[in-house]
Chain A
Amino acid sequence: MAGSPSVSAFDAPDFDERVSARRRKGLVFATMLFIATVFGLVVLVVLLVDVVLKGMTYLDADFLTSYPSRFTERAGIKSALVGSLWMMGLTALFAVPIGVASAVYLEEYASRGWFFRLIQVNIANLAGVPSVLYGILGLALFVRYFALGRSLLAGSFTMALLILPVIIIATQEALRAVPQGLRESAYGVGATRWQVVWSHLLPVAAPGILTGVILSLSRAIGETAPLIMIGALSFVAFLPESVMDSFTVLPIQIFNWTARPQAEFRELAAAGIIVLMVLLFALNLSAILLRNHFEKRRAG
């Protein structure tokens, strides 16, 4: 500046700044982003309102405590709701320990060779496999080969396989996010690998693992295709009493009702959808609450 007194600090002869044009572009961009956001919301709200309006006629206590029926006024969702809860419980029971254990092995124990990369690529691919393929696998493996029949057990094994890759990937990411300094300081006082994993890595990674687990369970609760493949029934007028009993779940019951020609059954389906959504919402809410709880404990 001292060398060229004719040029002020704001003059930039080498630049064509066009600030107002750039700002206009930015405004257009921001508006598009806003519209995209609102679009998703509007569609969601319209769907919700539609479902709620249709389903409210049938949604009452009787709906939750009755078995399905040919007569719409007596039909209920009891067996499907109980079936879904059983499925979730069993699926989590099988998938969570195996998924978390695999992830801990891959992140903390496995040496980084070709075998590790092979497994890693396969897990990532499995997470993207269409769920109906898991249904075919479940049919061949659990229903036929292990002769579990169309049981809750066969269904939840299949579901567990379906969500396993997601749980593994979520857990691996949660473990990877644990600072290396924490590992080193724990090893530094003479801890074995097991002690480091159990006392430090898993507690710190717990919120991330939980989020992954519950998100994958919410995916499983809405899945229909694999369960149809393994032959879950669509008309069940009893509650499963053991894991070997046949069963149905909410999405199958809903699917079944929507396939009926009468309009009343479609309203029943809408009521079923509301129940399913409330269940999903409860699951996600519990995920958030649990995560906050763990994070607070860590910080406090």
Chain B
Amino acid sequence: MPDSVNTAETLREEAEAQAHAAPDGLPPERRPAPEDPADKTPTPRPKIEIEDVSFWYGDNKVLKGISMDVAPHQVTAFIGPSGCGKSTLLRCINRMNELIPGTRLEGRILIDGQDIYGDADPVMVRRRIGMVFQKPNPFPKTIYKNVAWGAKINGYKGDLDELVERCLRQAALWDEVKDRLNDHAYGLSGGQQQRLCIARTLAVKPDVVLMDEPASALDPIATAKLEETILELKKHYTIIIVTHNMQQASRISDETAFFYLGELIELNKTDVLFTRPSNPQTEDYITGRFG
């Protein structure tokens, strides 16, 4: 893995500089997406730029030259039938696929204009771009340690107790666990565990949160709570969510991308994509004719 400390440092310094430059005095984790003052156009600069990304598992090409932009502070949903590459693309955005031997990526992914591959340090990338997985997978530790661990290993200098409380509140879990922070995380219900995983992700102050079918293992009530949480989170974070549930995509997302066989078929405003899709394949999928 090519690690360049220099680039990682630059990345961090720039992120910090932007944080300090925030004019509204918000703490860094609440700061809006960095915007060029000269660029006050209605469409803000994209948070994530995916440029001609192809991806292979061994010889199997699962992403075929995908290019798309993701706008800041909104929820973008990835939909498509199983095996269409939506989860793979999501996992490329925080370099999670690198952990799987025998994979290869071509193309570029930029966050705030900076290439997250090339010389960037994957550890830095993953801290800035958090991920919530399909199956709730808290650490086999206490609730408190689940949230605090990531911050601690990344050298968080603030008050850990305060951070844990704030993240658990943001993940809408605080009221349910505040009296038992030192209980083991495995004692929580599936929905609570998933919100704990969100709190854990927020604790390292990412600015993008990726969610890979976060509600697929949850019951409808837990799902509704999770969706509320996601809508709340988009004020502070850019969120991409992979989902098999099209109602969910239409409820919570601002933009929706439809993938099929490793290609991006259509990217559109969610209400447009679900009511007047411009591509016949999208229409077939959302009306249930295939997939």
Contacts and interface: CB of A to CB of B under 8 A. Distances in A.
A195 B151 CA distance: 12
Given A111-B101, A185-B139, A298-B140, A190 B96 contact: no
Contacts of A261: none
A300 interface: yes
B17 interface: no
B150 A191 contact: yes
A299 B101 contact: no
Given A112-B101, A182-B139, A189-B204, A299 B124 contact: no
A85 B108 CA distance: 60
Interface stretch (B78-86, B109-117, B130-138, B255-263): B130-138
B245 interface: no
B186 A181 contact: no
B126 A187 contact: yes
A199 interface: yes
Contacts of A13: none
Contact of A185 (B123, B127, B186, B197): B197
Nearest to B102: A112
B126 to A, nearest CB: 5
B133 A189 contact: no
Looking at chain B, what size class is its interface with the partner chain? Answer: 20 to 34
A185 B147 CA distance: 12
A188 interface: yes
B188 to A, nearest CB: 14
B149 interface: yes
Contacts of B192: none
Given A188-B201, A189-B130, A200 B153 contact: no
Contacts of A298: 140
Given A298-B140, A299-B184, A185 B133 contact: yes
A188 B130 contact: yes
A119 B137 CA distance: 33
A3 interface: no
B137 A182 contact: yes
B195 interface: no
A204 interface: yes
A191 B125 CA distance: 11
A6 interface: no
Contacts of B149: 189, 199
A145 to B, nearest CB: 39
Contact of B201 (A181, A187, A189): A189
Interface string A188-204: 11111001000110011
B168 interface: no
A54 interface: no
A184 B133 CA distance: 9
A183 interface: yes
Interface string A76-120: 000000000000000000000000000000000001100000000
B241 interface: no
A179 interface: yes
A190 B201 contact: no
A283 B31 CA distance: 58
Contact of A179 (B94, B128, B137): B137
A191 B127 CA distance: 8
Given A181-B133, A185-B197, A190 B124 contact: yes
Interface of A: 111-112, 179, 181-192, 195, 199-200, 203-204, 298-300
19 contacts: A112-B101, A181-B133, A183-B99, A184-B99, A184-B131, A185-B133, A188-B96, A188-B131, A188-B133, A189-B150, A189-B201, A189-B203, A190-B127, A190-B153, A199-B149, A199-B153, A200-B139, A200-B140, A204-B140
